[in-house]
Structure 1
Amino acid sequence: MNFEYSDKVKGLRSQLLTFFDNYILPRLSAYRNEVHDGTYPVSFMEDLKALARDEGLWNLFLPSLKDDEPGTRLTNLEYAPLAEIMGRVSWSAEVFNCNAPDTGNMELLHMFATPAQREQWLKPLLNGEIRSSFAMTEPDVASSDATNIQTSIVRKGDEYVVNGRKWYISNAAHPNCRLFILMGKTDEQNPDRHRQQSMILIPKDAPGVKVVRNLSVMNHINGHGHCEVTFTDVHVPAKNLLGEEGEGFAMAQARLGPGRIHHCMRSIGQAELALELMIARSQERKTYGKYLHQHGAVAEWIAKSRIEIEQARLLVLRAAWAIDERGAKGAADEISLIKALIPTLHTTVVDRAMQTFGAMGTGPDLPLADMWTQGRALRYADGPDEVHLRKIARMELKRAQEKGADLSHYFYTSAE
């Protein structure tokens, strides 16, 4: 494994950082003000997207692009340092058409859509013309186990009829959202619990689809939304089925693999920004006659944060390399490792920065409170920490059983 950035990646990083300096950072206040005033999408988003596309900074996340599709073909390992830069500003990924949940939905459509489905939905998503949602999580069951979902997808002639209730559905409140990729059950009696589910494409404007409310995250509501959505006798053509009946669970796992690592890449960027803010504050503010960095506790926070970020970045790069080498399924162990680690690292470093700033760290003049909220929510997104920790433990136990080593000689015996 060689994680040294190639000349190609170094060039793209330089280009992306210049784009940030010229177009993203000068608009941070304008973005916040427009969103707080109820303007969403913000007035300058389409202009920024056009600039990014013209500069070749477009669809960077998708290595499987075809010749007739717009974007920059990068491996996951090449994309990682670019996603880290995007993570520094929470809304910037949309500028480069690299925003969740659209990235995962484009992955799904790339892998499983029919030619007609690709033309209708994938093409406008790749062009950044529309947004989409992935409707899996439900309020009435523990969605950490996706086999629990209850939404029904029933075949009736040439149609499917969908009934169910979803919530925390990202992007559903975005004015440009046009598509739900919904996961539900087509065969509840199948003895194989992992073959009961299917996915279906539902236009947002289909009769029976209702966005009930935009749910807050830590009492914070954003423009694109994390919505409760009901599907009541929603009729869609049978041709809207994605893949085959019974493939829904497997497709969800294929979708979540790259999505999980993208979240982690961006989290590294947020942690880096938090550390930079912490250091800047510690060099300008004094208490008890000393700069903050001269106090042992703050110096330790800075040192530990640097160590933890470097460790986490290496683990993320390793997971990206594993996906490129073995695919998301083959890299499942590496993905679980970073998914269990990175969100907690994210909130830990941000929390230290908030503490260094004092009350200001919780206020509206800095991005730290929003950054902490995003990191805390990631402990649920794409599988809660506990699911990944359980998987890692199983992985270790299985390896121990397969190895079957006799460790008795490592035990000390009592003296006779």
Structure 2
Amino acid sequence: MTWVTGAEGSPYGVHNLPYGVFRTADREPRVGVRVGDLVLDLGGAEAAGLVLAAGALGRPRLNEFLALGRPQWTAVRQRITELLTDSAHRAAVEPLLVPLAEVELLLPFEVADYVDFYSSEHHAANVGQIFRPGQPPLLPNWKHLPIGYHGRAGTVVVSGTPVVRPQGQRATPQGPVTGPSVRLDIEAEVGFVVGVPSPLGRPVAAGDFAEHVFGVVLVNDWSARDIQAWEYQPLGPFLGKSFATSVSAWVTPLEALGAAFVPAPDQDPPVADYLRDEPHLGLDLSLTVEWNGERVSQPPFATMYWTPAQQLAHLTVNGASLRTGDLYASGTVSGPERHQVGSFLELTWGGTEPVKVGGGETRTFLEDGDTVTITATAPGPDGTTLALGEVTGTIFPAR
């Protein structure tokens, strides 16, 4: 139970408590935690001696707090829960609660490195059928290692930031042309935020996932399919992906997701030793994709073939170091049914089957002015439900 008005029964109740960074007209950027439709000013709470976090909560990014490690993350979460549930603290804490409608939410952490994976078997198989009809949908290496690529950390933006239509080269029957993308797409993903770094040359074991990863964000990996198709031969994604990647303003800590870990899909053939994660667990997250306000898909994260722990082990197996603020994303989340896919490439089957969106219009790919919003829920403790912070973006014309 909580004394905070409106928080009891909310998917953002005290069983959730996601972290973000906010500012108001009279508050410089600092760390906050969401409870109901309010934001607890953790910078102010630490300044008042209500929470101890080595001064990290008054900072304009979460990075200093992320670097403190799991024992400190646990202690701060327990203290915040105590402050919001014990009415003895109400007089001191209530003045530090700010209505969500009065705050500006900022990028919650400075992104150090960004890696994006390709971990849904259903998504990979769909893409294979679209681009390689009549051939095996999965390439030979796909079930042996989590496929991924390094993205551009500097173009990761917070939810709500306008997405300018990218320009680049694309193929036409008359030859390559340069101009705005005409096959602009989304990828509904889940991202994992690294707190504790690792030294160069030392792989991180799958079993150490929870010691390094602080929490989860929703991700929209905007994708220019025409630019991507022309440039990716023989290398991987480059300009078709690097113009913008949107993340939610709230980072849900792993500790809030304890009830959401479920057995992951069986893997056949057996994986390499460094990829064995025991227990082999994924997350039961239910995503929803809305296109101009119309629900068009509900991707299930529990179907992902490669787990977050396996992804972390793979991206460091060669000795690559982790840095505080690293973000790695799951890749497009798609289930076995058409209404469960996480990209419009799949939803419209390569642009051949238009779908209805808000306002009664039809689409194959994104047009200027379109808005996409991705939300997600997860099971919480004692039968509760928690929400992950949404990620939304609107397409602006090319410049």
**TM-score with structure 1 setting the length:** 0.24
- Larger Rg, first or second structure (1 or 2): 1
Q: Whose RCO is larger (CA < 8 A, sep 6+)?
A: 2
Structure (1 or 2) with the greater strand fraction: 2
